[in-house]
Amino acid sequence: MIDTTSPLRMLIVEDSEDDALLLLREMRKGGIAPYHELVDSEDRLTYALRRGKWDIVITDHNMPGFSSFRVLELTKKYCTDLPVIIVSGTIGEGVAVTAMKAGAQDYIMKDNLSRLIPAIDREVREGFMRQAKRVAETTLEHMAYYDSLTDLVNRREFERRLVQALEDTHNTGRQHVLLYLDLDQFKIVNDTCGHVAGDHLLKQIAGLLSHQIRSDDTLARLGGDEFGVLLRGCDILHAQKVAEKLCEEVREYRFVWQSRPFSVSLSIGMVLIDDHYNSAGELLSHADLACYAAKDRGRNNVQLYETNDVEMQQRQSDMNWTSRIQQALQNDSFCLWQQEMVALQPGSTDGYRTEFLVRLTEGDETIPPGAFIPAAERFNLMTKIDRKVIQLAFQYLDRTGLGRRETGTFFINLSGSSFNEPELFLYISQLAERYKLKPGRICFEITETSAIANLNVTQRFISAAKRRGFKFALDDFGAGMSSFSYLKALPVDYLKIDGGFVRNLLEDPIDLAIVDACNRIGHATGLKTVAEFVENDDVKSRLVELGLDYAQGYGISKPRPLD
Question: Domain boundaries in the chain?
Answer: 9-143, 155-307, 328-561
Spatial separation of the C-alpha atoms in residues 155 and 272, rounded to whole Å: 19
| pLDDT one-digit tens code per residue, 143-152 | 677 888 898 9
What are the Cα distances from residue 513, in Å, to 167, 476, 486, 506, 508? 66, 16, 19, 11, 9
Provide, rounded to the nearest whole percent, the portion of the chain with pLDDT above 70.
94
Q: What is the pLDDT of residues 375-387, one digit of tens each?
A: 888 778 899 999 9
pLDDT single digits (tens) 260-301: 888 889 999 999 998 888 898 889 988 988 888 888 778 888
* 146, 153 contact by CB (below 8 A): yes
Between CA 321 and CA 352 the distance in angstroms is 35
Judged against a pLDDT cut of 90, whether residue 418 lies above it is answered with no
What is the spatial distance between Cα 54 and Cα 412, in angstroms, rounded to a whole number?
A: 76
Asked if 461 and 429 count as a contact pair (C-beta separation under 8 A), the reply is no
Q: Are 186 and 201 in contact (CB under 8 A)?
A: yes
**Total residue length of the chain:** 563
Q: Is the pLDDT of residue 135 over 80?
A: no
* Confidence at residue 481, expressed as pLDDT on a 0 to 100 scale: 47
Residue 116: the pLDDT is: 82
**pLDDT at residue 312, rounded to an integer:** 66
Asked if residues 505 and 512 have their Cβ atoms less than 8 Å apart, the reply is yes
Query: What pLDDT was estimated at residue 315?
Result: 67
Q: How far apart are CA 512 and CA 527, in angstroms?
A: 19
Second CATH level (architecture) for the domain 328-561: Alpha-Beta Barrel (3.20)
Alpha carbon distance 160, 146 (integer Å): 13
Per CATH, the homologous superfamily of domain 155-307 is Reverse transcriptase/Diguanylate cyclase domain (3.30.70.270)
User: Half-sphere exposure of 274 toward its Cβ, with a 13 Å CA cutoff?
Assistant: 8
Q: Which residue has the higher pLDDT, 448 or 314?
A: 448
Query: In the structure, what pLDDT confidence band is assigned to residue 61 with cuts at 50, 70 and 90?
Result: confident
pLDDT of residue 148: 83
The pair phi, psi for residue 233, each rounded to 5°, is 60, 50
Average pLDDT over every residue of 464-481: 84
- Compute the average pLDDT of residues 429-451: 91
* CA contacts within 13 A on the Cβ side of 129: 6
Mean of the pLDDT values across residues 106-111? 81
Least confident of 108-122, 188-202, 214-228, 544-558: 108-122
Distance CA 535, CA 361 (A): 26
Beta-ladder partners of 63: 66
Nearest to 284 by CA among 94, 156, 117: 156
The answer to whether domain 155-307 and domain 328-561 are alike in fold is no
C-alpha distances (whole Å) from 517 to each of 479, 511, 527, 557 are: 13, 10, 13, 26
H-type helices in 30-91, by residue range? 42-51, 68-78
CA distance linking residue 68 with residue 76, whole number of Å: 12
Q: Is 360 left (phi over 0), alpha (psi -120 to 50) or beta?
A: beta
Q: What is the mean pLDDT of residues 392-417?
A: 93
Indicate if the pLDDT at residue 138 is higher than 70.
no
DSSP symbols for 425-447: HHHHHHHHHHTT--GGGEEEEEE
- For residues 444 and 419, the answer to whether their CB atoms sit within 8 Å is no
Task: Report the amino acid identity of residue 51.
Answer: R
- Assess whether pLDDT exceeds 60 at residue 313: yes
> What is the DSSP code (8-state) at residue 478?
T
Name residue 229's beta-bridge partners.
179, 219
CA distance 277 to 194: 40
Q: Please give the mean pLDDT across all residues of the chain.
A: 87
8 Å CB contact between 443 and 527: no
Burial class (CB in 10 A: 0-12, 13-18, 19+), 81: middle
CB 385 within 8 A of CB 333: no
Compute the CA torsion angle 42, 46, 49, 50 (nearest 10 deg): -170
Over its C-alpha atoms, the chain yields an Rg (Å, rounded) of 38
Which residues touch 547 (CB under 8 Å, ≥6 apart)?
345, 519, 523
For the cut 90, the answer to whether the pLDDT of residue 177 exceeds it is yes
d(CA 217, CA 232) in angstroms, rounded, equals 6
Rounded to an integer, what distance in angstroms lies between the CA atom of residue 338 and that of residue 353?
10
DSSP bridge pairs for 471? 443
Quick check: 410 and 402 in contact, CB under 8 A? yes
CA distances from 247 to 205, 221, 255 (A): 11, 16, 15
Residue type, 175: Q
Instruction: Assign a CATH topology to domain 9-143.
Output: Rossmann fold (3.40.50)
| Distance of alpha carbon 64 from alpha carbon 68, whole angstroms | 11
